[in-house]
Chain A
Amino acid sequence: MVLKSLTGNYAVALAVKMARVDVVAAYPITPQTTIVEKLAEYIDGGELDAIMIRVESEHSALAAAYGSALAGARAFTATSSHGLLYMYEWVNWVSRARVPLVMAIVTRTIGPPWNIWTDHSDYYEQRDTGWIQGFAMDSQEVFDMTLQAFKISEDPRVYLPVMIGLDAFILSHTSMPVEVPEQELVDEWLGARTQGFIIDGSEALIHGALSSPEYTEEFIKDMGKAMEEAVEVIREVDYSFGRTFGRSYGGLVELYKCSDAKYHLVLMGAWAGDAMEAVDTLREQGYSIGVVRVRYTRPFPGEELYKALSSSKGVIVVERGVSFGSMGPMFLDIAGNMLKYSRKLPYMRNVIAGVGGVNVTYKDFEYIAKETIDYIESGEEPSVMTWYHARRSK
């Protein structure tokens, strides 16, 4: 094990290299670009024995990665925002094809206006595509999650592609220490690639042929089943990763100071670190609050969240994205999924913040949490959904 200072993007690239990918297909877009630049450096420098396909668009990036994955190669691509939207047809195609593949999404606001800073709308818009979706908090987790993504994607119970979200700049371009394991240990833990079928001419296989509604329904239903199975696979992979490398994250959800907490901040991404800092301060001030950090949004960790939140006095879901005309996508997921376990939901508030990349600090989390808690403690209920505007509130 060595300790390296890595940006989020370089942590992705290093994990991809250590997973010994065979093919990388990618197209530049800020702020993803440094991932593929680093991979190009690894490949051309002889450190990674892989083929890089320098495609002419994101649509082709995922298409080419897909082709090589069908042919039995471990494949990777990465993109952001408009690039992700441009490849959207292929995002859906790959999951429905049931081919293991890993993609990093450096989350970035969608235009217009042009904006390169982070919000989660590009990531959220993929939630119905059939990809497993994880979201990391820091460089170490990005590194670990990328390695884990290959293992989850290639598990015979799953065979679905995995995307890993990481925030633009806050994480993608910020250096943090990362424990990098020995290559041999990674090889042993990850193992050889497995997939449900390989199209390499060794037998005549036809993939994706015109299909009747009845067959198609079976394929789609099976994706749902694989997603359900993936819950256990993600937990297992997190556990075995911890046994091998000494780091576990608690599966699909990480709980911070939740064991005795009456109130809960729920969120995902790099700013969860700021929320944790806010919780430390709030605790000093006598507020009983913890952070529930969502690591995976597909499959959605309904069970974990129900366990963590069902007896909460107040749940504050803070999100960097909104479904226009409705609410925050994660808030809707939490509310809907908790109904699977109980008809009685705790008080829940949805705060939309940091959209467009607006900086949200631990001070803002303190403010949001205090405001909500003070309302509830005084017997009032604040509105269920609010926009928190950082510029105006300070």
Chain B
Amino acid sequence: MSSTPTLPRDMRNTVLPGHAACHGCPIPMGLKVVGAVFGDKVILVVPACCTSVVLGMHPGTAFNGSVIHVAFASAAAVASGISAGLFKRGVRGVQVVAWAGDGGTADIGMASLSGAAERNDDFIYVMYDNEAYMNTGIQRSSATPAGAWTTTTPLGKKESKKDVTKILIAHGVPYVATASIAYPHDFYNKLKKAAGIRGFKFIYLHAPCPVGWRFDPSLTVKVAKLAVETGMIILYEYYDGKIHISGPSRPLLDKSRRRPLIEYLKFQGRFHGISEGELRNLESYVDSSWEWVKKFMQ
């Protein structure tokens, strides 16, 4: 662990202390990495989501860069517009990043996201996935995994998680990746790589929410790591028509090296009381995700 290189100092300067995030919130962890890559040369486009609140109230904001708050369904469309406007005016060296939650991406923002991806508009879209509508009080989204309790699925969600990353791969955009707040260096490298590519880039960021998932706020990183170590979340990049599996997930191609899924679930109150059948379902969801990834590695 201690051999991990430090991230550049801009990480320290971008998310400002005294913001309005809950204890142990993964969002500022992710934003700090965005800051480490781009410093203040970034324009975040934020639809309605937790980040709208986390960054605090007018006239201040806890982010040392530019932020445009936009209507829920529109992060991708506004980002397309900004990117075009900057390009037309000859402004270079500023990265446009749409920063949206799973609701604003997998649900209400899907059409505008798909449109921007199909047009291959030049910006990075980060979907930070806390797997439910946390800002409005933990309602299920299409990215909520099966079996999880939310306030609108009190008996657990019946349907499987929508895998937005696969949908974006189907768009044929130049760069798609998955990342986790537990692996900031991996996320950093992916943002860096994305920034060097012209066109549409999509990065999925797994972001466990202590409040909504019902775990102790000190465990955010641990839970995020377990998601990767159990194989529930697979870290990879997709470019040149292939999946390239990332360091933290690579050993887990061998199923025997994955930790049992229950180790990830047991820390989370939202999975308390899931049935044996639901657990099997989740396990087969994990297996089929890996099979799918393996197919696209060829």
A and B touch in the complex (CB under 8 A): yes
Contact pick for B91, options A70, A71, A205, CB 8 Å? A71
A64 at interface by CB-CB < 8 Å: yes
Q: List CB contacts (< 8 Å) of A221-262 with chain B.
A: none
For A200, what are the chain B residues with a Cβ–Cβ distance below 8 Å? Answer: 43, 85-86, 89, 91, 94
Min distance, Cβ A110 to any Cβ of chain B, angstroms: 21
Q: How far is the CA of A199 from the CA of B44 in the complex (A)?
A: 10
Q: Are B85 and A75 in contact (CB under 8 A)?
A: yes
For A59, what are the chain B residues with a Cβ–Cβ distance below 8 Å? Answer: 73-74, 77, 111-112
Q: List CB contacts (< 8 Å) of A23-76 with chain B.
A: 23, 25, 50-51, 53-57, 59-61, 63-73, 75
Q: Which residue among A55, A60, A64 has the maximum number of chain B CB atoms within 10 Å of its CB?
A: A64
A89 at interface by CB-CB < 8 Å: yes
Nearest residue (CB) in B for A65 is B81
For B91, what are the chain A residues with a Cβ–Cβ distance below 8 Å? Answer: 71-72, 200-202
Q: Are B88 and A63 in contact (CB under 8 A)?
A: no
Contacts A56-B112, A56-B115, A63-B77 given; does A23 touch B88 at CB 8 Å:
yes
Nearest residue (CB) in B for A59 is B73
Q: Which of A111-119, A206-214, A272-280, A358-366 contacts B (4 or more CB under 8 A)?
A: A206-214
Contacts A22-B88, A70-B82 given; does A201 touch B41 at CB 8 Å:
yes
A324 at interface by CB-CB < 8 Å: no
Chain B 61-74 interface 0/1 with A at a Cβ cutoff of 8 Å (1 = within): 10111111111011
B45 at interface by CB-CB < 8 Å: yes
B262 at interface by CB-CB < 8 Å: no
Q: List CB contacts (< 8 Å) of A254-311 with chain B.
A: none
Contact pick for A199, options B41, B56, B66, B111, CB 8 Å? B66
Q: Are A93 and B81 in contact (CB under 8 A)?
A: no
Q: How far is the CA of A22 from the CA of B86 in the complex (A)?
A: 10
Min distance, Cβ A202 to any Cβ of chain B, angstroms: 8
B40 at interface by CB-CB < 8 Å: yes
B295 at interface by CB-CB < 8 Å: no
For B69, what are the chain A residues with a Cβ–Cβ distance below 8 Å? Answer: 206-210
Contacts A56-B112, A60-B74 given; does A210 touch B81 at CB 8 Å:
no
Nearest residue (CB) in A for B20 is A210
Q: How far is the CA of A207 from the CA of B114 in the complex (A)?
A: 25
Q: Which residue among A55, A89, A201, A204 has the maximum number of chain B CB atoms within 10 Å of its CB?
A: A201
B21 at interface by CB-CB < 8 Å: no
In this complex, the interface size class of chain A, counting residues with CB under 8 Å from chain B, is 35 or more
Q: How far is the CA of A56 from the CA of B113 in the complex (A)?
A: 10
Q: Are A209 and B67 in contact (CB under 8 A)?
A: yes
Q: Are B68 and A204 in contact (CB under 8 A)?
A: no
A123 at interface by CB-CB < 8 Å: no
Q: Are B80 and A210 in contact (CB under 8 A)?
A: no
Chain B 108-125 interface 0/1 with A at a Cβ cutoff of 8 Å (1 = within): 000110110011010000
Q: Are B89 and A72 in contact (CB under 8 A)?
A: yes
A135 at interface by CB-CB < 8 Å: no
Contacts A200-B94, A208-B70, A215-B59 given; does A71 touch B86 at CB 8 Å:
yes
Q: Are B65 and A210 in contact (CB under 8 A)?
A: no
A90 at interface by CB-CB < 8 Å: yes
For A71, what are the chain B residues with a Cβ–Cβ distance below 8 Å? Answer: 43, 81-82, 84-86, 89, 91
Q: Are B81 and A204 in contact (CB under 8 A)?
A: no
Q: Are B115 and A90 in contact (CB under 8 A)?
A: no
B57 at interface by CB-CB < 8 Å: yes
Q: Are B57 and A211 in contact (CB under 8 A)?
A: yes
B22 at interface by CB-CB < 8 Å: no
Q: How far is the CA of A313 from the CA of B97 in the complex (A)?
A: 62
Q: Are B58 and A67 in contact (CB under 8 A)?
A: no
Q: How far is the CA of A68 from the CA of B80 in the complex (A)?
A: 8
23 intermolecular pairs with C-beta atoms under 8 Å apart: A22-B88, A25-B80, A53-B80, A60-B74, A63-B74, A68-B81, A68-B88, A69-B85, A70-B68, A70-B78, A70-B81, A71-B85, A72-B89, A73-B88, A200-B91, A206-B63, A206-B69, A207-B68, A208-B69, A209-B58, A209-B67, A209-B69, A210-B56
B interface list, Cβ under 8 A from A:
40-43, 45, 52-53, 55-59, 61, 63-71, 73-74, 76-89, 91, 93-94, 111-112, 114-115, 118-119, 121
